[in-house]
């Protein structure tokens, strides 16, 4: 049984690609937690897609045993967190389970946007922060410049920062000593009633739901009957243990320890992240405050290319939702695309990851509709509705006003690209809030509409700054604006999958671009096809796809001109009738291409 004073719980936070997972690898290796033959790069990134993209998506935990230079044995519980803004929810949850953080900064790049965002989360969670400057083996490394940036931009003392190279292993022993010396031990009482925080849960097809827990007070043993205080469910504990990084059973988990429990729970929905776990017989009087549930930010429709695969898609989405608490879905149908699901995500990278996982793990080809955000629509009768899908927009004559979500975006960019970034933000209806300098880099803070960001803002930002800008955002609330629903009509039939919410000032430009694009994508038919963009009953842009022409007068040679006239008039009447009853087939590729918004 490890005394509380010899336990340290910490997480590693940093911007994308600053070396969190590699540092975790070296800490695991330096303490012989995993034999050398089982060691591999990014050991804690278990999913194929994490290893392939080289990013962390799920926060992972591991228990390390370390003998310090003073001869004392310590237990270190490490949580490796993601760096991307889409997975900030994972980071905020992990922060609540530990007392300290290692702030990893790339000594060649300096402080980036997500370094800031993640450090502020650590400060909010009341963490002791130890700065670590990584990649000192690279020739471009400049420790004094980075230390100055950390002090100027973040405002924490960088004089005791530890220079390391997570690649070569230099400085790792100093990091371990700093964890033991500088980070505070956890607090907790062994004799109090059990109070444990549910940090995360994942689904295992053989064992059911496995919960990752942090014990605050009391002791958890195998065979205990536990109660989830928020959901009210009671379960018998079948197994408890710790991650090293594979699962290793233990007899008990005491205060300050992080481990897993398995209690034959069937659904991940029964395990609310942030819930308090206690013993049914001897309950703790006060539950923990818990986490705010994650709010989906971006919505889009997922439809199978082959409509016969709808049931397979339903299974795949249900299984994915078991593992990902921040992913939400509901069924929807579209006249153009058939049956599918309207899904909510924390951002576009989250959307991409979920889509890739469905296509890869379940072998289902998907069509994704245009991503949209939630609008608040205020009706003239005083009611308010949340609009997830622009196709469901009520009649404009009954709407008082529409509010859209706004974000506060922080962009760090080298000085020479600042003009392009400011122009990009201005084009996206941004309002500048702040512009400061950190060395040779500008930090622009903008108030932007989320709707303008979810399409291709990040790609545009990366291309105008040659990849040097870093970007982070947080939701700031809703604001009224002059927003309208733009419908696309093909042959006078509205195509619901292409409806979108746009700002009235930009509607004509957007509508014209969409009509021109569809004109190239829809194959020609035997009759003329009008393609229109409309707001309510008013058409704002139109293109006409000309008809394929069959020469009906080919058999007439010589003779009276009225014979030709008669045949042409008959053809004209036929085409008119065809246009009335004819169906326009819009191929799936046309949908996919039309939804990719280019400038």
DSSP string, 168-215: TTBTHHHHHHHHHHHSPPP---SSSPPEEEEEEEEEETTTEEEEEEEE
Which has the closest alpha carbon to 29: 62, 56, 3? 62
199, 267: one domain: yes
3-class SS of residue 264? strand
Name residues whose C-beta falls within 8 Å of residue 43's C-beta, 6 or more positions apart in sequence: 21, 24, 25, 28, 34, 245
- The pLDDT of residue 300 is above 60: yes
14, 45: one domain: yes
Mean pLDDT of 590-594: 65
Q: Could you write out the three-class secondary structure of 396-440?
A: HHHEEEEEEEEEEEEEEEEHHHHHHHHHHHHHCCCEEEEEEEECC
What average pLDDT is seen over the chain? 79
pLDDT tens digits, 530-567: 889 988 888 888 988 887 777 777 777 777 788 788 88
248, 317: one domain: no
263, 324: one domain: no
3-class SS of residue 448? strand
386, 513: one domain: no
Report whether 135 belongs to an annotated binding site: yes
| DSSP 8-class letter at 362 | S
Rounded distance between C-alpha atoms, residue 210 and residue 322, angstroms:
11
Angle between helices 418-427 and 457-464 (to 10 degrees): 160
127, 16: one domain: yes
Out of 161, 182, 203, pick the residue that ends a domain. 182
Which has the closest alpha carbon to 78: 92, 61, 91? 61
Q: What is the pLDDT of residue 599?
A: 41
Residue 291 forms part of a structural domain: no
Both tokens of residue 148? 């100055």
Both tokens of residue 340? 């599918």
Report whether 60 belongs to an annotated binding site: no
What are the angstrom distances between the C-alpha of 554 and each of 125, 270, 389, 559, 560?
A: 82, 73, 51, 13, 14
Domain enclosing residue 436, as ranges? 375-481
Which has the closest alpha carbon to 179: 79, 322, 321? 79
CB atoms within 10 A of CB 143: 14
256, 326: one domain: no
Rounded distance between C-alpha atoms, residue 194 and residue 197, angstroms:
10
Mean pLDDT of 395-399: 81
The strand pairing partners of 500, in sequence order, are: 486
Residues in the chain: 599
Which one is predicted more confidently, 37 or 296?
296
Name residues whose C-beta falls within 8 Å of residue 32's C-beta, 6 or more positions apart in sequence: none
3-class SS of residue 256? coil
Report whether 282 belongs to an annotated binding site: no
Q: Are 118 and 59 in contact (CB under 8 A)?
A: no
Residue 189 forms part of a structural domain: no
Q: Are 76 and 186 in contact (CB under 8 A)?
A: no
Q: What is the pLDDT of residue 372?
A: 77
266, 310: one domain: no
Out of 481, 510, 532, pick the residue that ends a domain. 481
Report whether 22 belongs to an annotated binding site: yes
Q: Kindly report the CATH number assigned to the domain that includes residue 271.
A: 2.40.30.10
Residue 435 forms part of a structural domain: yes
Which has the closest alpha carbon to 427: 461, 473, 398? 461
Dihedral in degrees, nearest 10, Cα atoms 422, 427, 433, 434: -10
3-class SS of residue 245? coil
Q: Kindly report the CATH number assigned to the domain that includes residue 342.
A: 3.30.70.870
361, 432: one domain: no
Name residues whose C-beta falls within 8 Å of residue 196's C-beta, 6 or more positions apart in sequence: 213, 214, 215, 216, 218, 220, 253, 276, 277, 278
Q: Which long-range contacts (CB under 8 A, 24 or more apart) does 41-47 make?
A: 43/245, 44/80, 44/245, 45/21, 47/357
Report whether 17 belongs to an annotated binding site: yes
Q: Are 92 and 24 in contact (CB under 8 A)?
A: no
Out of 368, 383, 411, pick the residue that ends a domain. 368
pLDDT tens digits, 496-519: 777 888 888 888 888 888 888 888
47, 118: one domain: yes
Q: What is the pLDDT of residue 572?
A: 78
Residue 285 forms part of a structural domain: no
Report whether 18 belongs to an annotated binding site: yes
pLDDT tens digits, 404-433: 888 888 888 888 888 888 988 888 888 888
Name residues whose C-beta falls within 8 Å of residue 559's C-beta, 6 or more positions apart in sequence: none
Which has the closest alpha carbon to 409: 465, 470, 456, 336? 470
476, 489: one domain: no
Q: What is the pLDDT of residue 595?
A: 59
Name the domain count of the chain: 5
3-class SS of residue 137? coil
Residue 288 forms part of a structural domain: no
Report whether 258 belongs to an annotated binding site: no
pTM of the predicted protein model: 0.68
Sign of CA dihedral 63, 64, 65, 70: negative
Rounded distance between C-alpha atoms, residue 425 and residue 430, angstroms:
5
Rounded distance between C-alpha atoms, residue 445 and residue 430, angstroms:
10
Report whether 21 belongs to an annotated binding site: yes
Which one is predicted more confidently, 172 or 230?
172
Q: Kindly report the CATH number assigned to the domain that includes residue 542.
A: 3.30.70.2570
Rounded distance between C-alpha atoms, residue 352 and residue 53, angstroms:
12
pLDDT tens digits, 438-491: 767 788 898 988 888 776 677 778 788 876 777 777 778 888 888 888 888 888
- The pLDDT of residue 48 is above 70: no
Q: Could you write out the three-class secondary structure of 69-104?
A: CCCCEEEEEEEECCCCHHHHHHHHHHHHCCCEEEEE
Mean pLDDT of 280-307: 77
What DSSP element (H or E) covers 62? strand 60-67
Residue 287 forms part of a structural domain: no
Mean pLDDT of 328-340: 79
3-class SS of residue 535? strand
Q: What angle do CA 419, 420, 421 make, to 5 degrees?
A: 90
Both tokens of residue 493? 């039939």
The DSSP annotation for 458-514 comes to HHHHHHHTTT--EEEEEEEEEEEE-EEEEEEEETTEE-GGG-EEEEHHHHHHHHHHH
Which one is predicted more confidently, 99 or 596?
99
| Residue 560 φ then ψ, to 5° | -75, 140
What are the angstrom distances between the C-alpha of 216 and each of 6, 96, 107, 256, 261?
A: 15, 11, 36, 6, 15
12, 93: one domain: yes
Q: Kindly report the CATH number assigned to the domain that includes residue 126.
A: 3.40.50.300
Q: Kindly report the CATH number assigned to the domain that includes residue 399.
A: 3.30.70.240
Mean pLDDT of 104-110: 85
Residue 450 forms part of a structural domain: yes
Residue 289 forms part of a structural domain: no
Q: Are 18 and 55 in contact (CB under 8 A)?
A: no
């Amino acid at each position: 049984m490890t005394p509380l004073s010899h336990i340290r719980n910490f997480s590693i936070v940093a911007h994308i690609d600053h070396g969190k997972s590699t540092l975790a690898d070296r800490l695991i290796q330096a303490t012989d937690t995993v034999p050398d033959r089982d060691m591999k790069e990014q050991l804690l990134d278990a999913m194929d897609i994490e290893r392939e993209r080289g990013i962390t998506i799920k926060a992972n935990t591991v228990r390390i045993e370390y003998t310090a230079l003073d001869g004392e044995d310590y237990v270190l519980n490490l949580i490796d967190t993601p760096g991307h803004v889409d997975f900030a929810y994972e980071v905020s949850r992990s922060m609540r389970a530990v007392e300290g953080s290692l702030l990893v900064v790339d000594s060649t790049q300096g402080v980036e946007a997500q370094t800031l965002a993640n450090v502020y989360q650590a400060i909010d969670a009341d963490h002791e922060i130890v700065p670590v400057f990584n990649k000192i083996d690279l020739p471009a490394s400049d420790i004094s410049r980075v230390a100055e940036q950390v002090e100027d931009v973040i405002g924490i003392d960088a004089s005791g920062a530890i220079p390391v190279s997570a690649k070569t292993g230099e400085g790792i022993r100093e990091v371990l000593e700093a964890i033991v010396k500088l980070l505070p031990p956890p607090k907790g009482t062994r004799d109090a009633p059990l109070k444990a925080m549910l940090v995360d849960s994942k689904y295992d097809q053989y064992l059911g739901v496995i919960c990752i827990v942090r014990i605050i007070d009391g002791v958890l043993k195998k065979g205990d009957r536990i109660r989830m205080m928020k959901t009210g469910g009671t379960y018998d504990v079948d197994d408890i243990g710790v991650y090293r990084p594979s699962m290793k059973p233990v007899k008990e988990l005491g205060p300050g320890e992080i481990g897993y429990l398995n209690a034959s729970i069937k659904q991940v929905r029964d395990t609310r992240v942030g819930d308090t776990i206690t013993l049914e017989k001897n309950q703790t009087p006060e539950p923990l405050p818990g986490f705010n549930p994650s709010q989906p930010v971006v919505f889009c429709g997922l439809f199978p290319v082959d409509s016969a695969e709808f049931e397979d898609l339903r299974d795949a989405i249900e299984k994915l939702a078991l593992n990902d608490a921040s992913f939400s879905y509901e069924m929807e149908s579209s006249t153009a695309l058939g049956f599918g699901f309207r899904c909510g995500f924390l951002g576009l990278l989250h959307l991409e990851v979920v889509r890739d996982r469905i296509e890869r793990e379940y072998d289902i080809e998907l069509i994704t509709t245009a991503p949209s955000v939630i609008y608040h629509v205020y009706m003239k009768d005083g009611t308010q509705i949340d609009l997830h899908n622009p196709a469901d927009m009520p009649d404009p004559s009954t709407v008082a006003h529409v509010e859209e979500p706004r974000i506060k975006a922080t962009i760090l960019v080298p000085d020479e690209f600042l003009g392009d970034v400011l122009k990009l933000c201005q084009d996206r209806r941004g309002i500048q809030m702040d512009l400061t300098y950190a060395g040779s880099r500008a930090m622009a803070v903008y108030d932007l509409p989320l709707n303008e960001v979810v399409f291709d803002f990040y790609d545009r930002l990366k291309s105008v700054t040659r990849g040097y800008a870093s970007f982070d955002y947080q939701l700031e609330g809703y604001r009224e604006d002059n927003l309208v629903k733009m419908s696309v009509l093909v042959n006078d039939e509205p195509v619901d999958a292409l409806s979108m919410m746009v700002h009235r000032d930009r509607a004509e430009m957007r509508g014209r671009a969409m009509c021109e694009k569809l004109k190239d994508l829809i194959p020609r038919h035997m009759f003329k096809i009008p393609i229109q963009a409309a707001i309510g009953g008013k058409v704002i842009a139109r293109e006409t796809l000309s008809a394929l022409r069959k020469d009906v007068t080919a058999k007439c040679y010589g003779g009276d001109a009225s014979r030709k006239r008669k045949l042409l008039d008959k053809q004209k009447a036929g085409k008119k009738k065809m246009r009335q009853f004819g169906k326009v087939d819009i191929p799936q590729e046309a949908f996919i291409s039309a939804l990719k918004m280019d400038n």
